[in-house]
């Protein structure tokens, strides 16, 4: 990629952030619309889970493929294709006549979304080559998540209240089209010096692992453990096959050598934990505010602002801290805030009081606002730039997998606790195990943030990067000698 002027670099960052905005906004807007969808499409709790998890599951399954494909054939080309598919999927979702077709069209959206975030992060990584400048850019990137969380509940509530839940998908159209035209005009093409070959076997195994695991968790409360046990067996078998098959390939879909870096491994598990907490938090909160408290979509969206505003304010601060002091402090703040928030709901039933509900939301927003920048920066900064797309895709996959598991596990726990009873009478007790799960996720962020951000961890990252670069040189020499 040619060296760009500072103004052009900021324009590229803005265009990439537009893609993140529509993907993130889509998720936060959708959560506010869930009760309206439930009434209109006669959906069960598991049906609502699938409207979220069908999207995040496909996204998680294809992100690494999209990242490696973009490194091989061109990041701008794949990014533009993603914008087109995502926009078309949004139109189809707004027209869906049934829950089953809505789930299918959400999967179409996800195919496009898989070509956006990891590819955009790869473009940013290759545009901002200075470490501090890159950290600030990633802080801006994280702030966009906060913007989507701040705008999503309000915009979603307003659209659901004044039009219908179908209108929430319309907002993707102007942003998607604008991003497409700006990308065509201003984003330069770039690719890795040596493209990675496709790994169809690894891709099928990833889909089998994520799909079987998610299906088993979501359907367990309705079908029983005996009925879904085969899906868990498939998931375990797919995981074992991945661990056996991938190290034997020269260019695997998932390069397990990345995980020799303690910061990279820690960032992966932290991303899964933090986004599992986010997925479960949003799922339970929107059902509580509308189905238990009886708020309409707009007022439920307003109640989400105490969580969304701190996320928006803390994300750029986190990016600056990562650039000046490293990832440890933001991760410790994030883990502490998320843990205390979960404990407030689990121990003190924070949702039963306006003041404790407000404090619980603020604490979770602070925690989530600080967690994004260190995850992204740690995942991509220690890796060779030629593999930036793959490294960013693993980080993005971890986020989506975490959100998928959070909605699946916490939704299943909630559904099992409520059973055939009404939400109003049983929600607080049924949700308590879910809040404990969120507390454990916060503790995981805190503990791993402490363990994987010290000197020992940095040395493992340096050794892993050296091994990866050495392996790339050997492959290049071998390919030259064979030709």
Q: Is the pLDDT of residue 91 over 90?
A: yes
Q: What is the pLDDT of residues 51-71, one digit of tens each?
A: 888 888 888 888 878 877 887
Helix 305-325, helix 354-381: angle, nearest 10: 30
* Token pair recorded at residue 201: 């076997």
pLDDT at 468 over 80: no
CB 71 within 8 A of CB 122: yes
Residue, of 420 and 449, whose pLDDT is higher: 449
Rounded-to-integer distance, Cα 8 and Cα 16, Å: 12
Percent of the chain with pLDDT over 70: 89
Average pLDDT across the chain, whole number: 83
CA distance between the termini of the chain: 27
Q: Residues 104-121: what's their mean pLDDT? A: 88
- pLDDT band (50, 70, 90) for residue 477: low
Residues 6+ apart with CB under 8 A from 185: none
pLDDT band at residue 473 under the 50/70/90 scheme: low
Q: Is 384 left (phi over 0), alpha (psi -120 to 50) or beta?
A: beta
Q: What is the pLDDT of residue 439?
A: 94
Which tens digits make up the pLDDT trace of 296-331? 888 888 888 888 888 878 877 887 888 788 888 999
Give the pLDDT of residue 86. Answer: 95
Distance separating alpha carbons of residues 284 and 289, to the nearest angstrom: 9
| 439 and 357 Cβ atoms separated by less than 8 Å | no
Half-sphere exposure of 426 (CA within 13 A, CB side): 13
Both structure tokens of 195: 């493209």
Distance CA 235, CA 229 (A): 10
Question: CA–CA separation, 109 vs 120, rounded Å?
Answer: 17
How does 343-382 read in b/e, with b if 16+ C-beta sit within 10 Å? bbbbeebbbeeeeebebbbbbbbbbbbbbbbbbbbbbbbb
Cα 232 from Cα 238, distance rounded (Å): 10
| Residue from 413, 402, 285, 336 nearest 28 by CA | 285
Distance CA 278, CA 361 (A): 11
- Phi and psi at 98, nearest 5°, equal -150, 165
**Between 299 and 28, residue with greater pLDDT:** 299
The rounded distance, in Å, linking the Cα atoms of 458 and 437 is 30
> Are 342 and 442 within 8 A, CB to CB?
yes
Global confidence as pTM: 0.81
Q: Is the pLDDT of residue 273 over 90?
A: yes
């Amino acid at each position: 990629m040619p060296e760009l002027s500072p103004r052009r670099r900021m324009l590229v960052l803005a265009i990439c952030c537009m893609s993140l905005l529509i993907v993130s906004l889509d998720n936060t807007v959708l959560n506010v619309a869930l009760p309206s969808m439930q009434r209109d499409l006669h959906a069960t709790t598991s049906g609502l889970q699938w409207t979220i998890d069908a999207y995040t599951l496909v996204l998680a399954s294809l992100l690494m493929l999209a990242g490696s494909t973009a490194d091989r054939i061109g990041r701008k080309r794949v990014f533009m294709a993603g914008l087109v598919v995502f926009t078309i999927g949004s139109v189809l979702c707004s027209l869906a006549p049934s829950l089953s077709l809505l789930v299918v069209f959400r999967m179409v959206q996800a195919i496009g979304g898989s070509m956006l975030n990891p590819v955009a992060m790869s473009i940013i990584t290759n545009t901002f080559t200075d470490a501090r400048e890159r950290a600030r850019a990633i802080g801006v990137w994280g702030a966009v998540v906060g913007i989507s969380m701040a705008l999503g509940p309000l915009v979603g509530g307003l659209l659901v209240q004044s039009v219908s839940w179908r209108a929430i998908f319309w907002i993707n159209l102007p942003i998607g089209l604008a991003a497409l035209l700006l990308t065509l005009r201003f984003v330069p093409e770039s690719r890795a010096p040596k493209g990675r070959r496709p790994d169809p076997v690894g891709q099928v195994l990833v889909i089998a692992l994520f799909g079987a695991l998610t299906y088993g968790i979501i359907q367990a409360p309705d079908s029983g453990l005996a009925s879904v046990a085969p899906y868990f067996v498939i998931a375990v078998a797919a995981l074992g096959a991945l661990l056996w098959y991938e190290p034997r390939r020269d260019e695997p879909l998932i390069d397990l050598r990345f995980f020799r870096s303690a910061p990279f491994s820690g960032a992966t598990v932290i991303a899964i934990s933090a986004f599992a907490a986010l997925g479960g938090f949003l799922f339970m909160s929107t059902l509580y505010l509308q189905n238990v408290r009886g708020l309409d979509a707009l007022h439920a969206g307003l109640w989400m602002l105490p969580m969304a505003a701190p996320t928006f304010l803390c994300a750029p601060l986190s990016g600056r801290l990562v650039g000046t002091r490293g990832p440890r402090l933001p991760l410790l703040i994030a883990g502490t805030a998320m843990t205390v928030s979960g404990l407030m709901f689990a121990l003190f039933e924070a949702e039963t009081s306006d003041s404790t509900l407000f404090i619980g939301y603020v604490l979770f927003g602070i925690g989530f606002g600080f967690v994004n920048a260190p995850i992204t920066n740690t995942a991509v900064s220690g890796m060779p730039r030629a593999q930036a797309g793959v490294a960013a895709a693993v980080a993005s996959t971890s986020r989506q997998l975490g959100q998928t598991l959070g909605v699946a596990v916490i939704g299943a726990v909630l559904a099992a606790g409520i059973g055939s009873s009404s939400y109003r009478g049983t929600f607080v007790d049924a949700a308590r195990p879910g809040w404990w799960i969120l507390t454990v996720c916060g503790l995981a962020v805190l503990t791993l943030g402490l363990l994987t951000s010290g000197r020992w961890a940095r040395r493992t990252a340096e050794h892993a990067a050296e091994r990866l670069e050495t392996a790339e040189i050997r492959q290049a020499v071998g390919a030259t000698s064979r030709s």
